[in-house]
Structure 1
Amino acid sequence: MAQYDVIIIGSGPGGYVAAIRCAQLGLKTACVEGRETLGGTCLNVGCIPSKALLHATHQLHEAEHNFAKMGLKGKSPSVDWKQMMAYKDDVIGQNTKGIEFLFKKNKIDWLKGWGSIPEAGKVKVGDDVHEAKNIIVASGSEASSLPGVEIDEKVVVTSTGALELPKIPKKMIVIGAGVIGLELGSVYCRLGTEVHVIEYLDAITPGMDAEVQKAFQKLLQKQGLTFTMGAAVQSVDAGKSKAKVTYKLRKDDSEHEMDADVVLVSTGRRPFTDGLGLDALGIEMSPRGQIKTDAHWQTNVKGIYAIGDCIDGPMLAHKAEDEGMACAEVIAGKAGHVNYGVIPGVIYTHPEVANVGMTEEQLKEAGRNYKVGKFSFMGNGRAKANFAADGFVKILADKDTDRILGAHIIGPMAGDLIHEICVAMEFGASAEDLALTCHAHPTYSEAVREAALACGDGAIHM
């Protein structure tokens, strides 16, 4: 029977980061993973492969729409779908092998198989039982579906199936206008697929700043995606090569049908804790199936911790990573900390969408006095030169103290630009602090400075 200081169940972004940090802190560490490769959903069938396809199809879009404007003339490239899939798989392989290398470098044991916890202090993998002073559950999440909708990952697919379709569909229906649906819908729209999005609510990307929601939907429609909002899907009937979606409009209860070659069900994700034996251990769970933890990520059973998608909070890889590092530090006797008020969110469409902190709607609901600094990328020289002038930067600051409370960006490289605002918020900076910081010219980041200036006496280039 092997004995460890820490065993982590799951090797996704939360699990593998926790394992590496535990090892760095001198703890004898093992990580349980049942997949053939490390990295969890994110690296194998989520974040990484989807970004590869988003990058490839954005290059196609540039070639078809912007190359000629820059004097780059010639026949538009054709799509070799088999090669694009091979490129995506190669990207996955490079990343998962990278995690395997890091495990070896940090002397972390990979316990291959699916894990369960027969009792506190013990983890069973296959027929073997391993002892651990501490156990971290980092089992992640799985795609959730709708009642009565059967997923076959061929015609009716989740994000997993959408990343490995044998051919490019002529028509795709996306159920759910959240991050996953819009990213993958964008991929196939650029490839020539007719993409139609059906959303239950009246706005896309639920929970996002309302002004960004409206601007984002208009830009996606301009790119070719179509939307049916306020619609409740009743059923999805799949044949061998087609599917029929039946939905009702909430405004008048009228029923409609729509056919497609592929239906992508992107109605969110749910914690994946099946087979761990948590019920028998008496571990407290929330009504939504999340593992309950205290402020130090420990469950009600001493020595058993949980992080990432299987606990409360946004299901984001980087949130899981932060929790993985912090939990490891707590176990090692240090002061692990996660600032949940400064966790950015990014949608990797084009333009990208990014946010951090509070929205205007949340500030109004809280009765907070705030001011808005906004700057359009139309006023940014680099964005105009690169055919990327759609969108804006919006900074929300306290009206009295000028402290930054939130930021919302739709535009080029938004997922990278948001981080200077994250750093500013982490240090309690004011909009003026950001406005007085010199930014290189010409860069997209100047739009962030201009939005900060707009919180004061006004932007320069608007």
Structure 2
Amino acid sequence: MADFDLIVIGGGPGGYVCAIRAAQLGLKTACVEGRETLGGTCLNVGCIPSKALLNATHQLHEAQTNFEKMGLMGANPSVDWEKMLRYKDDVISGNTKGIEFLFKKNKVTWLKGWGEITAPGQVKVGEEVHSAKNIVIATGSEASVLPGITVDEEVIVTSTGALSLPKIPKSMVVIGAGVIGLEMGSVYARLGAEVTVVEYLDAITPGMDAEVAKSFQRILAKQGIKFVLGAAVQVVERQGNVAKVAWKLRKDDKPGEIEAEVVLVATGRKPYTTGLGLEALGVEMGPRGTIKTNDHLATNIPGLYAIGDAVAGPMLAHKAEDEGMAVAETIAGKHGHVNYAVIPGVVYTTPEVASVGKTEEQLKEEGRAYKVGKFSFMGNARAKAVFQGEGFVKLLADQETDRVLGCHIIGPGAGDLIHEICVAMEFGASAQDVALTCHAHPTFSEAVREAALACGDGAIHA
């Protein structure tokens, strides 16, 4: 008889959600996690700590820039970096302890250590081997570093090191203009560092709607972040307490270089499957180190599943959570499903940027007839009241059916506003459905309704 119905390897967002849902569905469940705390990269050295620092530095920006405009007078606050890091650590602790509480509440067994699948249905943790009817791999990802770059997490750092620098650097180079690089770059720019972003492509945030990306770059530049685009990094070399970054522009091979106290390497992430024993087990692998799965997230080994960053698709915590729930449902004999067409993405800078569904570029490439409804936050009373009138909502709908195909928002609260469109798309709503839905005034969400109105007869406040 198996020790467990399910063993989940990895206690990050995909893994712990999978374990909790499986336990709720009546399965005897264990979760393998080698960190001292649950929550994986996201809660410990990723999503949550970075949002804490983004929040703290946004408040600093408000005090320095907007308080006086509102009649809040007094000296600007100074930054106690050690105390800010303690605040970040307290946020992490509160969240990770919360997951441990949920494990106890739902009777999920935490197998502390690193897991290895020694045979189908067998997981070795430390010196003990545990059996399970089903196994889910939820081991997440790790930072992907360009060849020839040596990361020391002191001067040349990944996002992990960037979250715990001993002091605020006077200068920082960010290699990679994706979500992680721009969020961390934004944090340190607000703290006074001179931040330069070096990106291989000719635009920031690859895959984002081009119009939004262009506006996003312009706003970040106004905030003091410098950009070098279309640049192929040649050298990243530590020289004492600083590092040199050298590049060549792709269009003309023109060289350039810069020196900074800290270099953040934010060139993406790759699946972390080291030590699992997948090769010996005969697990089929996909491109770029992913584990190959079918529509039910099952591997070619019976009873073995994989989710989250370990499999294909966007490396997003909420995508991993959805997959974790779906796999638990499937194993419990129910119908597990993930709608990959409706997975939102968010950049938590100020302003926030959020998107779901198709971009204009994708629709053009598909040859699909569509219409665009746009509304600027300058027409939104609430946004102007909080000095966030820059940005817009852009809604894309089918030309004939009016069905919502995608939405892209840059502005206040974009990461929350996008979910109205996620729900609309999940239920096959039209732009008119959104436009005819009453929205409270004054709220940022009215901008979404106005964009939907713009897909029809026209927005009211444009």
Instruction: Indicate the residue corresponding to 2:68 in structure 1.
Output: 68
Instruction: Indicate the residue corresponding to 2:109 in structure 1.
Output: 109
The question of 1:332 aligning with 2:336 is answered: no
Instruction: Indicate the residue corresponding to 1:257 in structure 2.
Output: 257
The question of 1:453 aligning with 2:453 is answered: yes
Matches within 5 A, 1:232-311: 232-311=232-311
Q: How far did residue 287 of structure 1 move?
A: 3.0
Matches within 5 A, 1:33-432: 33-432=33-432
Contact kept, 8 Å, 2:178 with 2:205, in 1: the verdict is yes
Cα distance in 2 for partners of 1:55, 1:257 equals 32
Cα distance in 2 for partners of 1:27, 1:432 equals 44
**Amino acid paired to 1:308:** G
Q: Identity over the aligned pairs, expressed in percent?
A: 75
Cα distance in 1 for partners of 2:2, 2:274 equals 24
Q: How far did residue 239 of structure 1 move?
A: 2.6
Q: How far did residue 286 of structure 1 move?
A: 1.4
Cα distance in 2 for partners of 1:390, 1:4 equals 53
Give runs of ≥4 in structure 1 deviating > 4 Å: none
Instruction: Indicate the residue corresponding to 1:27 in structure 2.
Output: 27
Deviations 1:411-436 (A, max 9, x none): 00000000000000000000000000
**Amino acid paired to 1:56:** A
Q: How far did residue 240 of structure 1 move?
A: 3.0
Cα distance in 2 for partners of 1:459, 1:408 equals 17
Cα distance in 1 for partners of 2:354, 2:123 equals 39
Deviations 1:46-78 (A, max 9, x none): 000000000000000000000000000000000
Cα distance in 1 for partners of 2:206, 2:411 equals 19
Number of equivalences: 462
**Amino acid paired to 1:161:** G
Cα distance in 1 for partners of 2:440, 2:250 equals 49
**Partner SS for 2:221:** helix
Unaligned runs of 5+ in 1: none
Q: How far did residue 235 of structure 1 move?
A: 1.3
**Partner SS for 2:287:** coil
Matches within 5 A, 1:11-26: 11-26=11-26
Cα distance in 1 for partners of 2:92, 2:256 equals 39
Q: How far did residue 2 of structure 1 move?
A: 7.0
**Amino acid paired to 1:109:** T
Q: How far did residue 254 of structure 1 move?
A: 1.9
Cα distance in 2 for partners of 1:153, 1:147 equals 16
Deviates more, 1:2-11 or 1:428-437: 2-11
Contact kept, 8 Å, 2:2 with 2:133, in 1: the verdict is no
Cα distance in 2 for partners of 1:458, 1:406 equals 18
Cα distance in 1 for partners of 2:404, 2:256 equals 45
Unaligned runs of 5+ in 2: none
Matches within 5 A, 1:423-442: 423-442=423-442
**Amino acid paired to 2:72:** L
**Partner SS for 1:192:** coil
**Partner SS for 1:259:** strand
Cα distance in 1 for partners of 2:263, 2:193 equals 12
**Amino acid paired to 1:5:** D
Q: How far did residue 272 of structure 1 move?
A: 0.1
Deviations 1:345-379 (A, max 9, x none): 00000000000000000000000000000000000
Cα distance in 2 for partners of 1:460, 1:141 equals 46
Cα distance in 1 for partners of 2:293, 2:71 equals 58
Cα distance in 1 for partners of 2:175, 2:224 equals 17
**Amino acid paired to 2:315:** M
Q: TM-score, normalised by structure 2?
A: 0.99
Q: How far did residue 80 of structure 1 move?
A: 0.2
**Amino acid paired to 1:397:** A
Cα distance in 2 for partners of 1:234, 1:284 equals 34
Cα distance in 1 for partners of 2:120, 2:150 equals 36
**Amino acid paired to 2:108:** I
**Amino acid paired to 1:340:** Y
Deviations 1:272-327 (A, max 9, x none): 00000000000000131000000101000000000000000000000000000000
**Amino acid paired to 1:284:** E
**Amino acid paired to 1:194:** E
Cα distance in 2 for partners of 1:2, 1:82 equals 48
> What is the CA RMSD across the aligned residues, in angstroms?
0.7
**Amino acid paired to 2:256:** H
Cα distance in 2 for partners of 1:52, 1:222 equals 23
Contact kept, 8 Å, 2:236 with 2:246, in 1: the verdict is yes
**Partner SS for 1:334:** coil
**Partner SS for 1:288:** helix
Q: How far did residue 251 of structure 1 move?
A: 1.1
